[in-house]
Chains A and B, each alone.
Chain A
Amino acid sequence: MLSRTADCLFWLGRYSERAGNVARGLAATLRMALLANPLSAADDEWRALLIATGCEPGFRERHAGLTQDAAVQWLTLDSGNPGGIAAGIEAARRNARTVRTALTVDMWEAINDTWIEFRRLDSSAIRGDRLPGFLDWVRSRTLLFNGAAADTMLRNDAWRFCHLGTILERADNTARLLDVRHPAFAAEAAEDAANYAQWQAVLRSVSALRAFQHVYHARLSPARVAELLLLRPELPRSLLACYRRVEQTLDAIAEANGGQRGECHRLAGALHGRLRQGDVDGILEAGLHDFLTGIIDQNMLLGQEIGQFYLNGRQP
């Protein structure tokens, strides 16, 4: 496969997933902000989400104060925000158009229809009562795209690179969403209503509130929530599940491309291994924030190494 095609597929997967993840995070935050009093200050909620999605520095440059309306606008319709939904949909569609020949018709239609409809929206689409419906729509469009990819793509490199982008982005998202609420997981954090709401918000933002009950049949606790998101293989958005698939996918790519391996394969293996052997009490004891910061850095490095090895066109 052309390196550039692989690059577009990889970023198509990443951006499409990102748009859905921002919508999920936003829905959870919206709920927290509504419950803010007396559990926490609404502003903190929005700031946390901006930080988690990496959209905070850009926001601060353009906005003097933090309000819900400004934060929502920045994360949804403002295409000037590279980490927002608008930029995600734009970039996903741009990449898709560039490599249309590598996509199935169903994938193309999923992404193109999203883009067409998104461009018709005006700012009233995210106001007041319409915001939850909008966020559901974005989430469902990402699900449709992922479903179209999973159900219609040949299991060749096109599928592998697109999927690799999706799961790498998903891992990054899970790590960030958890990290931004890390104080609620500190050893000294009280098991009070405020922290309980935080744990719930974390689960909600990865659509795992029900899943928690199915796995644990027990009350939320910081250790269980952290374990679910970090180490449980059953949860498709847990770091372990994501990196297992990252490693498998990279292995399959290496196999299909003459067996050559590079630093990206080593890194992916190391990340997966670290999580497979991880134990949640140890992680919490050493500090969740440090652990997650390490994962996020490694994830970024992994993305760069994949780029170097496969996507930028290695010179002969």
Chain B
Amino acid sequence: MADRPAAAFDEMNAEGVIRPPYAEMARFLDATGQEALDQKRREAEVLFRRIGVTFAVYTEGGDPERLIPFDVIPRILSRAEWDRLGQGLEQRVRALNAFLADVYGPKEIIKAGRIPAELVLENEGYLKQMEGFTPPGGVYTVISGIDLVRTGADEFYVLEDNCRTPSGVSYMLENREAMLRLFPELFTRHRIAPVSHYPEELLETLKSIAPAGAGAEPKVVVLTPGPYNSAYYEHSFLADEMGVELVEGADLFVRDLQVFMRTTAGPQKVDVIYRRIDDDYLDPEAFRADSALGVPGLMAAYKAGNVALANAPGAGIADDKAVYPYVPEMVRFYLGEEPILSNVPTFMCEREADREHVLANLDKLVVKLARGSGGYGMLVGPHATEEQRADFAARIRARPGDYIAQPTLALSTVPTLCEEGFAPRHVDLRPFVLFGRTVRMVPGGLTRVALRDGSLVVNSSQGGGTKDTWVVEDFFAQQSQTLGGMTQTQTLTTIPPAATSGED
């Protein structure tokens, strides 16, 4: 129905030839048929409902706890594809951290004229309270979610960086568990890189950024806004898997610049806080005074070096959509390397030439708010009506600095179970990158899929679903692994279904 960008690259069936990573899967789909898979899909739904893997929507009436649609056909990457992505992700996250350390410190990149000063320093995402302060370990984005899209066999682009509180890793892990239960047979026919150690890697990473005074066993907690937050399931899941306390703001207090939690045995000191609360709500004394979610005095304790926060407050300046076009430049500036992962070409409406181009080509472009998440405030030009385009044109003229635009990419597709059978649907990929003393990833990430035919919007708030993401060893890699024993490299990934208000 809707016009799919001309030649979307199908990851299984490119130009009529089954690509090697999907060889087994294609045979399996042929042999299994839609009805049997539909049965599996229903089983998966019961499973998710029972475990309570839901995201909460308390604003729209109806069932407050919804399931994110899960597609039972996995998305498959080869080990070689993943390894290249992994290198690119590590490089990008290192550059983003160097950028944060720089703009809250010496500001070399601004002095060198590689990024406009006002774009950074007058940005809403720039947190003046962080000026001149170095977080424990010098790490800002302890957990990043980097959204990738694919347009061809070797063409991957970074769509956006999420450096604040990226969510969705629990879906990556639960999707794998569901697949293991539903299709044990398929797993024996593939050599699939495991992901279930993500929580351990996360805990190790969080411990590694503990302040100096924390001792050998730093106390780590997960700070949640509470059960009414859309991503609460994920918060409790991660705390549970790591075996740490899940706390709300009111469970913590600050005394003598130290953070404590209220326990049945009295106050207990806290060293590292994996916070899933936005900067604005962290501390009513430092930020929004009306925040009931935060902990009064937390920023003071943080700046005294007595507690670590993941991610660092102010990290959002690195994933600002207006800053995004400069990330390749950051890679060159800080690391002296050429970027392995490309940006999507981006027009900044603030610039006159860019703006003219955008206004003249609205029917071909995707226009986004420079600040915003969840697929809201977005215009997909080719699918929009004349009125919607006119409306956006007026908005762009009124506040050009608020908008960026990108070409409509022909996002790759993966076979997906639909009412009419298997059909190609567009996907993206959110790998999760952990950064403490080292960079860690688990192979793969969260694949989000636009379930509506032709749709390019994968957000779960906009009709998106998720798939399990497999990184399969190819034949030669298998051989060498078998012969050479376990030669595992440290890699981690996960992706969030950004269904979540308040989270990226």
Which A residues are closer than 8 A to B by beta carbons? 1-6, 94, 97-101, 108-109, 112-113, 116, 157, 161, 253, 256-258, 260, 310-311, 313-314, 316
Residues 224-254 of chain B, each 1 if its beta carbon lies under 8 Å from chain A, else 0: 0011000010001001100001111011010
**Inter-chain contact B50/A314, CB cutoff 8 Å:** no
B334 CB–A CB distance under 8 Å: no
Residues of A within 8 A of B50 (CB): 109, 112-113, 116
The number of chain B residues with a CB under 8 A from chain A is 25
B267 CB–A CB distance under 8 Å: yes
Chain A contact residues: helix, strand, loop or mixed: helix
- Among B50, B240, B251, B262, residue most surrounded by chain A Cβ atoms (within 10 Å): B262
Which B residues are closer than 8 A to A by beta carbons? 49-50, 52, 226-227, 232, 236, 239-240, 245-248, 250-251, 253, 255, 260-267
Q: Complex: how many Å from CA A4 to CA B264?
A: 9
A-B contacts besides A2-B245, A97-B227, A257-B263, 14 pairs, CB < 8 Å? A1-B265, A2-B251, A4-B248, A4-B250, A101-B245, A101-B246, A108-B52, A157-B264, A256-B265, A258-B265, A311-B264, A313-B251, A314-B262, A316-B267
Q: Complex: how many Å from CA A245 to CA B262?
A: 26
Q: Complex: how many Å from CA A51 to CA B236?
A: 39
Shortest CB distance B241–A (Å): 9
**Inter-chain contact A316/B49, CB cutoff 8 Å:** no
**Inter-chain contact B227/A4, CB cutoff 8 Å:** no
Ordered by A's residue number, 16 sampled pairs between the chains whose C-beta atoms are within 8 Å are A2-B251, A2-B264, A4-B250, A100-B52, A101-B240, A108-B52, A109-B50, A116-B50, A257-B266, A260-B265, A311-B264, A313-B262, A314-B262, A316-B253, A316-B260, A316-B266
Residues of A within 8 A of B227 (CB): 94, 97-98
Closest to B248 in A: A4
Q: Complex: how many Å from CA A184 to CA B337?
A: 90
Shortest CB distance A307–B (Å): 12
**Inter-chain contact A310/B262, CB cutoff 8 Å:** no
Q: Complex: how many Å from CA A256 to CA B253?
A: 23
**Inter-chain contact A3/B260, CB cutoff 8 Å:** no
**Inter-chain contact A100/B236, CB cutoff 8 Å:** yes
Shortest CB distance B229–A (Å): 12
**Inter-chain contact B251/A116, CB cutoff 8 Å:** no
Q: Complex: how many Å from CA A208 to CA B246?
A: 41
Shortest CB distance A144–B (Å): 14
Residues of A within 8 A of B240 (CB): 100-101
Q: Complex: how many Å from CA A113 to CA B267?
A: 36
Shortest CB distance B42–A (Å): 15
Residues of A within 8 A of B251 (CB): 2-4, 313
Contact of B264 among A3, A97, A101 (CB under 8 A): A3
**A2/B263 contact (C-beta < 8 A), A100-B240, A316-B255 known:** yes
Contact of A4 among B52, B262, B266 (CB under 8 A): B262
Closest to A160 in B: B264
Q: Complex: how many Å from CA A112 to CA B48?
A: 12
